[in-house]
Amino acid sequence: MSLRLFIFLFLLFFKAFLFLSPSLCFQMPTNEVTRLVKDAIDVGYRHIDCADVYGNQKDVGLAIEEKIKAGAVERKDLFITGKLWNTKHDPQLVCATCQNALNELKITYFDNYLIHWPTGFVDSEEKYPLDANGQTLFSNIDYVDTWRALEALVDAGLCRSIGLSNFNVEQIKRVFEVARIKPANLQIECHPYLNQSELIDFCRKCNIVVTAYSPLGSPHSPYNKPGTYKLLEHPLIVDLALSYKRAPALILLLYQIQRGNAVITMSTKREHMADNLNACSFELNETEMKRIDELNFNGRYNLMENAKGHPHHPFEY
């Protein structure tokens, strides 16, 4: 089964995460993260989105191990994504970093492994290494060299597919120019305020599956909030939710699904996890999709300001 087909069979999936920014570091207790992942598997989620920077892969791994041992799910039924953090872009560090993540998750391979950002930092155990002036220490590693190291992970059987996260069109083109194994997936911030239409169209032409993170507009994140309304409170979204007798969150999830995107969603409540899986139980019409699209103003929540000034920063300031 192709990666593209597999992802579209599991368009909604669960993300257990450590949220990390320069101003705030919030981590759920270990037992809470483990419970969330176990609940997600129980209600039917099969894609678990992980990353080194979330800081909780051991907790996620414990949940996966317990569910497999209990016979609730088999490893082959799960689709597990991992991400290489900025401090490990050096090709000589990639294999060991990936293997360490696999060990923490108690699995032997990733279904999908991404370069989290194109912006490399110096090798450090700190996720955001700083100089004496509090500025992030950048590395001179080119992400195309990092990509070649990811290809070696596929050769070694540690990853079944590889991809990118938070890359722009020109950066993806550079990877394609050197790639022996083409990127299968691009994970990007995507919601009505930032609909990413041009980037998504480019990915379609390149046969890259797009995964949308922050589809609800990061309502619980510390990022700057673009727009007059929080997405979940925008009058259009609220009106559509009332019309279909669904939660506003389901309108936003279905918007992405009908565009052909995979969607990352997160909930701390089991009943909300189950509700999210029902996003495909109704359909928005063409006019409604167009009206949601028109909310776009390139309003980005995650600016990655820690990497501002980096030669490979993907966003314009």
pLDDT tens for 12-39 read 343 332 222 112 233 567 688 899 899 9
Average of per-residue pLDDT across 208-224:
80
CATH classification code of 3-307: 3.20.20.100
Asked if the model's pLDDT at residue 78 lies above 50, the reply is yes
- 54 catalytic residue (yes or no): yes
Q: Cβ(54)–Cβ(89) under 8 Å?
A: no
* ∠ Cα 216 126 304 (to 5°): 35
What pLDDT, on a 0 to 100 scale, did the predictor assign at position 276? 83
What pLDDT, on a 0 to 100 scale, did the predictor assign at position 266? 79
pLDDT tens for 237-251 read 999 999 999 999 999
Q: What is the Cα–Cα distance from 140 to 217, expressed in whole angstroms?
A: 32
Query: pLDDT: is 289 or 262 the higher one?
Result: 289
Q: Is 310 annotated as a binding residue?
A: no
Beta bridge partners of 47: 79
Give a three-class secondary structure readout of 237-270. HHHHHHHHCCCHHHHHHHHHHHCCCEEEECCCCH
Give pTM, 2 decimals: 0.90
Q: What are the helix (H) ranges across 164-296?
A: 169-178, 197-205, 235-244, 248-258, 270-276, 286-293
Asked if the model's pLDDT at residue 310 lies above 60, the reply is yes
Q: How confident is the model at residue 198 (pLDDT cuts 50, 70, 90)?
A: very high
Query: pLDDT: is 16 or 296 the higher one?
Result: 296
What pLDDT, on a 0 to 100 scale, did the predictor assign at position 221? 63
Q: Which H or E element spans position 62?
A: helix 57-69
What pLDDT, on a 0 to 100 scale, did the predictor assign at position 27? 56
What pLDDT, on a 0 to 100 scale, did the predictor assign at position 22? 18
Average of per-residue pLDDT across 61-82:
96
What pLDDT, on a 0 to 100 scale, did the predictor assign at position 160? 97
The pair of structure tokens assigned to 2 is: 């192709």
Which one from 45, 54, 193, 213 is the annotated catalytic residue? 54
The pair of structure tokens assigned to 158 is: 């540690």
